[in-house]
Structure 1
């Protein structure tokens, strides 16, 4: 059977990445390259929609960008100089082609395509209202709620109808939309999910991360501001709208910890540099006597470098990762399933044997990966295994577009740190503090009132209403919220 790799079911995962191009010859080929760079943000499905001035064209498929969009016939069929694309994970909801984005609809004003990164936390409430009024849904995605809100708005222009729709939704969104008139890009008023703008020659590009601009050779212009709506029309004319008033931004702090690629720039700061600073802060707060600092690859590498530099303990690659193992593989039986752990990570036994080591990872979610890694180190002859985590304990679920297990499955919700240490069988276990994380990001500490980031997964301080979660009387609403497929 096909199943998730043992190391892939114990990470917080971004649910998607978006990329759009306006005014470039062969726009769909550029989008495909951009999606390659964003593949880490969603590896279950990908899609591209283009517009050639007359017709919209869409290709959506399960699986990676490579294999689906590296064929000439597919790209040729996606003609036009305007295109947008999407890579996605599903969560506990349905993995099906009908949920793959961009989603497309023929509205009264013409074709409308949308690619969404985030999660609408009142989607179930809105969906129930729309269905009652006669809307017919084709997917289980919360993104389709936005399309129906646009379609049923009483405003005259499409832009006003789109703004009207967004004023009714709660939660997190970075959106790239295509119409016959051009492209619209926007972020939610708190800027929880990222979105940047660049230029490739005269064409305008939007992407979830700056690394996607780098890959296609585009110049970074700036981040799309929280609550900003940017319209690009013929001739690549850019107009900025701010229809949501002033809000205190709360971008997702986990972009810095794990989600974004290390070579991306977020809020003007190098992700790689921030992760090294987190590692250094972790060493200041939680020192230990050891022979080696070893990262859990690949996400723990920058923090481990920072920890090693701050502590003076040598950095070594004590775990070797195979980059030729996909997310799924055949596991016929428990014995082979257990051995499959070593397909992706294997201990560097000659280095580890007889040593006291510090393992650095970005987070602990369910704890199953940490348990396996610690045991792998002991099997390789490690004398002591100390675990250090480059984020605070993850005690709360995310409702803003991150694939988080139910809170009851989070190890830090069930156990204190000593209990977690016992669970993973480490000699010691420590996490960077919430104030330490903010220090690594250049802040003095976390503000008690109006903190600078969304850190709800650590603190439980959710920056928006969670309407669907609060409505405990409607099972269907809670089920749709739990799906969180975007």
Structure 2
């Protein structure tokens, strides 16, 4: 299925509840707030006095859960997951949380990311007699945990050993009959943070999931950190991290909600600053600035402020259509773009337009959006992109195309501009993007540079 966007990864949310409020519903609202990170499947697993109850299914959070289902999921701790398949097929059995039984009991696992050595580990485990029920690398983690748990006294000790074996990107939640455990890969490629409400603790892919629930943000989980939450509270185990951190830069460009805070930086602030830098690097004479909803809007506001060109609401977005990439033919995909975005003619007609978007992957959707603006009467459409050209595939939990399908891999910027029908095209530089997220954290920019932090 071809599309012009990188696919969302996954979202995880966990609760260790010492209060009386409804654990399953808190988890429901948590993953509902993370719906943008995955729309293929959703699931919740709850610890009910030592028994793990769960429900997972293909579909959106609101489609998978209703009051009857949530009322059946009683317990004091829970983990939830929304999924877009970056590893493993789009099938019900690959939905998470993954619930497994083994010699020491049972556990549930929710995982965001990709292991770069999953295939090799799966082959080794199968040779030793392990039988797999899914095609996800999350089950590889579960199998390794089960194997290591037999040798040690506590699940967190087993996880320490597993983290020495697995390579790649992961934010991981493990629910057992007695504990909620969170872990982040040694480079911190995928995000994970901790929240607290009264005596209860929460873990989430993004801080925005805390805000509507009255949960106070505590801190980010550190790269390589294992966080153990049980009846005694929260404690931290720091594993060895040999390299610099490498949070995915696309969290700030596209994936995360603008109201989330990661590593001390608000996502909206980073996107706004990227727009200002984009205006400095690629100025143009124009009448209006238009942002492509939703992730292009903050950068468009920054561009407008820096360039002194008024921003207008150029598109009406229909939020009730499916994502364009799930359509079965190119004709239907293009029709999906028309149904999802409709230009507001009064703001466009007879004007020179600067169109701000977050990325171009294959170019097909960008070409269609440019054409929509010109059909609405735009005299000129100058496209500005708030990320550098995407030239390399990601192997850390983002579903990019094969490199041969990435338009920036085989076309110059001028050729891409001509292909999408733009009057001019400019991308933010890699230095400009890094300036927009400047702080005390290092970032993975492998999809732009080809410099992969994990082999």
Q: Tell me the CA shift for residue 339 of structure 1.
A: 3.9
Relative distance call for 1:311 and 1:127 in structure 2 (3 A) is same
Q: Structure 2: where are the runs of 5+ without partners?
A: none
Relative distance call for 1:253 and 1:341 in structure 2 (3 A) is closer
Structure 1 residues 20-29 or 108-117, which shifts more?
Answer: 20-29
Q: Structure 1: where are the runs of 5+ without partners?
A: 445-450, 466-486
Deviation readout 1:180-232 (Å, 9 max, x if unpaired): 22111010010000000001221110000000011221000000001110101
Q: Equivalences for 1:225-264 in 2 at 5 Å?
A: 225-235=222-232, 237-264=233-260
Aligned counterpart, 1:327: 323
C-alpha distance in 2, partners of 1:405/1:341?
19
Aligned counterpart, 1:16: 10
Q: Equivalences for 1:66-85 in 2 at 5 Å?
A: 66-69=62-65, 71-85=66-80
Q: Verify the 8 A CA contact 1:146 1:166 in the aligned structure 2.
A: no
Match of 1:432 among 428, 431, 442: 428
Q: Tell me the CA shift for residue 425 of structure 1.
A: 1.2
Match of 2:141 among 134, 138, 146: 146
Q: Tell me the CA shift for residue 244 of structure 1.
A: 2.2
Match of 1:454 among 435, 441, 444: 444
Structure 1 counterpart SS, 2:404: helix
Aligned counterpart, 2:454: 464
Match of 1:309 among 305, 309, 320: 305
C-alpha distance in 2, partners of 1:228/1:283?
39
Aligned counterpart, 1:478: none
Structure 1 counterpart SS, 2:64: coil
TM-score of the two chains, using structure 2 as the length reference: 0.95
C-alpha distance in 2, partners of 1:20/1:68?
18
Deviation readout 1:343-378 (Å, 9 max, x if unpaired): 110111222112111000000011111100111111
- How many positions carry a matched residue from both structures? 451
Q: Verify the 8 A CA contact 2:270 2:437 in the aligned structure 1.
A: yes
C-alpha distance in 2, partners of 1:14/1:369?
17
Q: Which structure carries more relative contact order (alpha carbon 8 Å, separation 6+)?
A: 1
Match of 1:397 among 393, 396, 404: 393
Aligned counterpart, 2:162: 165
Structure 2 counterpart SS, 1:13: coil
Q: Tell me the CA shift for residue 104 of structure 1.
A: 1.0
Aligned counterpart, 1:265: 261
Q: Tell me the CA shift for residue 338 of structure 1.
A: 4.6
Structure 1 residues 301-310 or 375-384, which shifts more?
Answer: 375-384
Q: Verify the 8 A CA contact 2:87 2:114 in the aligned structure 1.
A: no
C-alpha distance in 2, partners of 1:139/1:374?
41
C-alpha distance in 2, partners of 1:242/1:195?
15
Q: Tell me the CA shift for residue 159 of structure 1.
A: 2.2
